[in-house]
């Protein structure tokens, strides 16, 4: 029975002749989970099976390449469907997805072209000679007429293999500046033959791909096309041209369009950050819907079923593509259908354990879901012997360890000195653009309540109070303390933790000392509230402790909100209402302030941990009190510790 609240989201849909049980589509994401021979692994099958079990209507696989020439250090762990010996594993994947009621759709690509991640190892190709994105000194080779024909033939051959493997849908990878997209882009495609020139010429390869697939498999395979309709970069494709392209794609016989934005020069739009807001590409989808009759799929921070339902109800899309939210919670769809929104483990849009790992040539997982990509290895099983477990600290590390231990049958007590759970997530989620962290924080707090944990809030843990719980095991997750220089005792000089309860009066001058992620995001939040903000950072750049995708997006927002950034500048002291700084070349600078905010890092709060080690036989130290880290370190450390007991 469908949730009345999300009637549109859980209504049956159709692409071509293929019926789809609901309007939720798992968007294609590179995982790095294929074997060295580019075959589908059992681990990858388990990954997709979990999402099919979780209620997704259609699953689009990560892209499948067509030739060994596409294989570079990053794509080494990605699939190829280029030979009959790959069909068996693809069949198993398609079968498992179908067994659980979802529709498998295979994404097909002819490669990265000028965006090759290792142009010095594999000579890159492109529609025309042009600099390689990752090494402009290397000039991409222009594809010959014969090579283009071979690519068209190869991708159609893969479509034949896909039909044999049991797929009823295929998606052509034509977005994000990859090779097919390069043919469509006049700033790259300078050809003067039939594959260049006007829009019809630049899209000729796209038409030939659809025609060749139809020639080989008829109507046995519905074919969709993924396209960046607005590349969000000066001089590149605008929505107006995107609309014209989509009209042609419909004419060519594509059965649906998967609409998004960006290319690697505007990378935050490919992997939307929280700074871009929810449903951040819905306007693009709406514009395309007004101009075509075939179904339109739309992605872009649809974190909550309510947001997805609204996009369907107002006619912005026919299907909603969910990506990273399904990494965080494979049961996102089923929980939404049953009205269990509070039970959804929310993606925090950090991009750290998913795309950032894949870009490093590693396997994908998830910051908030350690089981992601490890479904067959990370299994919570009942403990051989139930123990009394006492957890000290109610932040993400402590809560995760407590919940996993409780699920395994242990009797768990959690001591938290504050009156509220959440730890550092409480202040890390207070800015408006930190909505994903706020959602995750609320989820974690609820899990602590519903997992049969004896919660003791407002209790300062000491060796005596710990002994009172009669533990067999003690887990210390007391976190860290923010660093602030000595001899500063003023109401208007605070740390980022104090900002959680600090009342700002209005249009004030704020100096943020420390330009890491915490300081930079605090500066952005203050600037968005109308304050005049300056960041002082001793290094030569800010936000160097986060991945390139989120960093680019954050820097764009800081510039938009006119945050002044002073790099290679060190804090010296505070005198009166001025922060005294010194530059790299020794000059002294004075910056006036109404509020000085220290974001100069944290130190481990590990005094209790040392005492616990001396007094209890089985104990563990996790989270920031073990080693200062990120949310992913806290959650993954808590999970692993919970499984060890």
Asked if residue 345 lies in contact with residue 443, where contact means CB atoms within 8 angstroms, the answer is: yes
Report the alpha-carbon distance of residue 583 to residue 587 in Å, rounded.
Answer: 5
Contact in structure between 610 and 616 (CB atoms under 8 Å): no
Query: What CA dihedral angle connects 357, 362, 366 and 370, to 10 degrees?
Result: -140
From the list 97, 53, 55, the residue with the least C-alpha distance to 337 is 55
Strand partners, 256: 224
Question: In whole angstroms, how far apart are CA 491 and each of 246, 325, 419, 499, 577?
Answer: 58, 40, 23, 11, 12
Q: Using CA atoms, how far apart are residues 577 and 581, in angstroms rounded to an integer?
A: 13
From the centroid of its chain, how far is CA 357?
11
DSSP-derived pairing of the beta strands 169-173 and 24-26: unpaired
**Among this protein's residues, is 178 annotated catalytic?**
yes
What are residue 228's DSSP bridge partners?
260
Give the angle subtended at the CA of 271 by the CAs of 318 and 22, to the nearest 5°: 25
Spatial separation of the C-alpha atoms in residues 486 and 501, rounded to whole Å: 21
Cα separation, 422 vs 535, in Å, equals 27
Cα distance between residue 140 and residue 137, in whole Å: 10
**Burial class of residue 506, CB neighbours in 10 A (0-12, 13-18, 19+):** exposed
At 574, phi and psi to the nearest 5?
-115, 130
Q: What count of residues does the chain have?
A: 645
Q: How would you write 31-49 as a 3-class SS string?
A: CCCCCCCCCCCHHHHHHHH
Residues 6+ apart with CB under 8 A from 391: 398, 401, 402, 405, 412, 413, 414, 415, 474, 475, 477
Q: Which residue is catalytic, options 161, 178, 236, 620? A: 178
Handedness of CA 77, 79, 82, 85 (dihedral sign): positive
Catalytic residues: 178
């Amino acid at each position: 029975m469908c949730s009345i609240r999300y009637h549109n989201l859980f209504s049956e849909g159709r692409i071509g002749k293929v019926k789809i049980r609901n309007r939720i589509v798992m968007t294609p994401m590179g995982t790095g989970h294929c074997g060295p021979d580019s075959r589908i692994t059992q681990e990858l099958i388990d990954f997709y099976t979990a999402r099919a079990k979780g209620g997704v209507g259609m699953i689009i696989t990560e892209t499948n390449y067509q030739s060994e020439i596409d294989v570079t250090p990053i794509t080494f762990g990605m699939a190829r469907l280029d030979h009959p010996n790959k069909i068996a594993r693809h069949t198993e994947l398609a079968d498992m997805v179908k067994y659980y009621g979802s529709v498998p759709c295979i994404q097909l690509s002819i490669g990265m072209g000028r965006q090759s991640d290792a142009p010095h190892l594999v000579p890159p190709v492109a529609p025309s000679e042009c600099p390689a994105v990752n090494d402009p000194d290397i000039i991409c080779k222009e594809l010959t007429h014969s090579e283009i024909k071979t690519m068209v033939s190869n991708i159609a051959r893969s479509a034949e293999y896909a039909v044999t493997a049991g797929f009823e849908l295929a998606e052509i990878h034509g977005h994000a500046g990859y090779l097919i997209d390069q043919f469509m882009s006049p700033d790259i495609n300078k050809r003067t033959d039939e594959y260049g020139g006007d829009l019809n010429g630049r899209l000729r390869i796209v038409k030939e791909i659809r025609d060749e697939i139809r020639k080989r498999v008829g109507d046995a395979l519905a074919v969709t096309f993924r396209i960046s309709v607005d590349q969000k970069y000066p001089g590149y494709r605008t929505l107006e041209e995107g609309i014209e392209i989509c009209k042609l794609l419909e004419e060519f016989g594509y059965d649906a369009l998967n609409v998004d934005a960006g290319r690697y020069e505007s990378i935050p739009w490919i992997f939307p950050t929280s700074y871009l807001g929810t449903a951040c590409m819905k306007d693009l989808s709406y514009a395309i819907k007004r101009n075509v009759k075939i179904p339109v799929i739309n992605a872009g921070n649809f974190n909550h079923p309510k947001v997805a339902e609204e996009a369907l109800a107002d006619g912005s899309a026919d299907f909603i593509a969910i990506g990273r939210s399904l990494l965080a919670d494979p049961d996102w769809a089923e929980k939404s259908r049953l009205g269990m929104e509070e039970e959804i483990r929310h993606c925090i849009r950090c991009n750290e354990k998913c795309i950032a790992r894949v870009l490093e040539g590693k396997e994908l997982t998830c910051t908030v879901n350690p089981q992601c990509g490890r479904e067959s290895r990370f299994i919570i099983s009942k403990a051989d012997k139930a123990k009394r477990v006492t957890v000290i600290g109610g932040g993400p590390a402590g809560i995760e360890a407590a919940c996993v231990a409780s699920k395994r049958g242990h009797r768990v007590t959690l001591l938290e000195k504050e009156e509220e759970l959440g730890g550092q997530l409480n202040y890390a989620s207070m800015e408006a653009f930190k909505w994903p962290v706020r959602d995750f924080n609320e989820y974690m707090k609820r899990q602590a309540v519903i997992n049969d944990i004896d919660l003791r809030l407002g209790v300062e843990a000491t060796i005596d109070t710990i002994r009172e719980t009669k533990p067999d095991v003690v887990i210390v997750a007391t976190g860290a303390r923010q660093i602030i220089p000595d001899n500063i005792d003023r109401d208007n000089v605070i740390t980022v933790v104090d900002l959680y309860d600090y009342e700002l009066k209005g249009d004030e001058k704020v100096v943020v000392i420390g330009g890491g992620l915490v300081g930079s995001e605090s500066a952005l939040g203050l600037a968005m509230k109308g304050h005049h903000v300056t960041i002082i950072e001793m290094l030569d750049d800010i936000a160097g402790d986060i991945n390139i995708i989120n960093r680019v997006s954050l820097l764009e927002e800081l510039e938009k909100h006119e945050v002044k950034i002073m790099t290679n500048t060190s804090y010296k002291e505070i005198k009166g209402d001025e922060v005294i700084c010194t530059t790299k070349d020794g000059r002294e600078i004075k910056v006036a302030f109404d509020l000085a905010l220290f974001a100069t890092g944290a130190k481990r709060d590990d005094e209790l941990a040392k005492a616990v080690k001396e007094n209890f036989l089985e104990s563990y130290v996790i989270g920031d009190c073990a080693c200062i880290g990120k949310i992913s370190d806290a959650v993954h450390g808590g999970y692993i510790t919970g499984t060890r007991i």
